[in-house]
A and B are shown apart, each in its own frame.
Chain A
């Protein structure tokens, strides 16, 4: 069964957890004991309805404060396929979590409270989905029950959002608008009886219609070697297999390939998955490849088709989202992890900070703080084999690892 990954973002109290709970409940993904636990907790809190947010808020601090702090992963399935929701909080201080959730998702659901309309946080959610080039965006106008299921409220919000969409840097993005009440279940899974003026799909209907394409399936073929398999047994004495995940396109036996950084060429001799050999393997497959010629290849090296070479870059210009409390400063050193390759780097310049409300760039004070997004120039000690993020998401992104704390301090999207 195929998997569709969704990111949800919303502000405090706009009913994101309730929407997810409703999706789970109406697709019969919540088991009796979980529903019972929700009923219990709801009763304890004095609610006369089922508080579905209790199904998803996983940490004690989250339940205490009634907010989502960290990215949670939630699973449900229909007869059509499986869904994974990356549920992320919407406050400004959690931009890093929104970016994280969006990085693996193909669809984003942006929630808007019908009573409040498009607010500053909506800008930020949409901006991030734009920056990360999320193909499908669903704008769910929630709490329609609280505005009397009024069509004009929905149309106004839609118009406001379309004005925002005019700033989009991603023309191919599909944006759709759905009026819902997560609490009452209108237009989430079942069609609403309260809004006869809305003829479109429900959220689930819309999701079911989206073709599932993994992030890894876009662009040209990139095969970043994870490890070299050398069994050294009698049967496989000379076996040298390059293990990795194929990204960007298919690889075939006989393909002429170039190995980076050595720029040596060879042909694909065999493609293994476990103990079977295949003529061809699709993007997204974790396979083991052998080559016709004996070439020295190590982890971090990359195999590409000889007529589809990537850029070989030692100076990166990238849009960076900063995720560490320690500011990003010029002159400091970080480890750049790009696919399976790690290279020492030095920050050359923090050019500008990009406002997440689409108001443009402003000059930075030379640093980038936690949850800020900016244009950064980075000098690498050794070249990486990259594409622009627009051309190839997985080969156009990297993370910055702090040498001292070892934490993942930021993510970059290569220009």
Chain B
């Protein structure tokens, strides 16, 4: 992405220069403003990952000098990287926005979902139930998320305003056409819309933006030493006791970083020495493995994402 502007005089608030839009950024801001205009109770789904952090920056830009006019909500699997939670709380305090947290553990305790067992046990799928309950509890009619179309092939067919029924289901064969930039958010009571302002961004676009805007992100995105073990050619964290590890899976300290920050139980690390944004961007540009290549939740089957989305997953 192109650098937005240079040589701006911020001290005197003078009108300095011609503003040249970054197409993707302007599109995202446009989408945020449509959400606020078309819905009664929007919420931004915040995972603590780089995509949702980018969303927060875009929302700030969309409504400045007013505060972000909707709360953030985190569906906490209980398997978060501690660094992410720390980061989340700092950000919310700084922005002065409301944070809602709902826990997958509560859904398990209430008997609404059953914890998976075995080697590949993950709470990633379980969070759908917690999310749908929270949507109902707060009567949210628009949930803004950081999903991108380049992530996965079912996501490539996702709309910017994606209508979900009372059960949170995605009807992939019956989606509303989106023409030009006209967004239709008209829904029935009980339905809600999932909104994806950075649909058209690629992973590299997000990283370039983080670099250009100097956006802070959690430390686990940068190279650090971590106790890990290998399984199926992927590197898993052996810390915090979240990921199941068999006796014969040997723990070793490696220098790694994470490319996505999902539930710990389904997010693998990559070996890397990139400890600055510049180095991370350079690494991604050269990378031969896709971002979701380290997400075991997508590897369950070729249609894993499509199935989860039909059930209400993001």
Contact = CB atoms under 8 A, between A and B. Distances in A.
A233 B19 contact: no
A192 interface: no
Contact of B179 (A59, A270, A397): A397
A280 B287 CA distance: 39
Given A31-B288, A281-B18, A408 B179 contact: yes
B200 A73 contact: yes
Which secondary structure dominates where chain B touches chain A? loop
A84 B188 CA distance: 32
Interface stretch (B2-10, B47-55, B100-108, B136-144): B2-10
A214 B66 contact: no
A271 B15 contact: yes
Name A's interface SS: mixed
B177 A285 contact: no
A73 B150 CA distance: 8
B270 to A, nearest CB: 12
B279 interface: no
How many of chain B's residues touch chain A, expressed as a range? 35 or more
B33 A243 contact: yes
B300 interface: no
A316 interface: no
B132 to A, nearest CB: 21
Using C-beta atoms within 8 Å of the partner chain, give the interface range for chain A. 35 or more
Given A73-B199, A393-B180, A250 B18 contact: yes
A84 B20 CA distance: 20
Given A73-B199, A278-B16, A236 B33 contact: no
Contact of A408 (B26, B66, B184): B184
B175 interface: yes
Given A100-B179, A274-B61, A393-B180, A231 B66 contact: yes
A189 B11 CA distance: 49
Given A226-B33, A408-B176, A59 B184 contact: no
Nearest to A246: B21
Contacts of A110: none
Contact of A58 (B10, B24, B156, B175): B156
A289 to B, nearest CB: 11
Given A226-B33, A231-B67, A274-B61, A58 B179 contact: no
Given A1-B2, A73-B200, A215-B180, A275 B65 contact: yes
Interface string B275-310: 000000000000111100100000000110010000
A61 interface: yes
B149 interface: yes
A188 interface: no
A34 interface: yes
Most buried by A among B153, B177, B178, B287: B177
Contact of B18 (A61, A73, A226, A279): A279
Interface in A260-304: 270-288, 299
A169 interface: no
B94 interface: no
A282 B179 contact: no
16 contacts: A41-B302, A58-B153, A58-B306, A60-B306, A73-B200, A75-B149, A104-B179, A104-B181, A229-B66, A230-B66, A244-B33, A273-B4, A280-B19, A281-B19, A286-B25, A401-B184
Given A74-B150, A275-B65, 16 more contacts: A61-B173, A63-B303, A73-B157, A77-B204, A99-B177, A104-B179, A229-B65, A274-B61, A277-B16, A281-B18, A282-B19, A286-B27, A286-B29, A401-B184, A407-B176, A407-B184
Q: Which 6 A-B pairs have the closest CB atoms?
A: A58-B153, A285-B21, A286-B29, A33-B293, A231-B66, A281-B19
Interface of A: 1-3, 31-34, 37, 41, 55-61, 63, 69-75, 77, 82, 84, 96-97, 99-100, 103-104, 214-216, 226-227, 229-233, 235-236, 239, 241, 243-245, 250, 253, 270-288, 299, 323, 335, 337, 339-340, 393-394, 397-399, 401, 406-408, 411
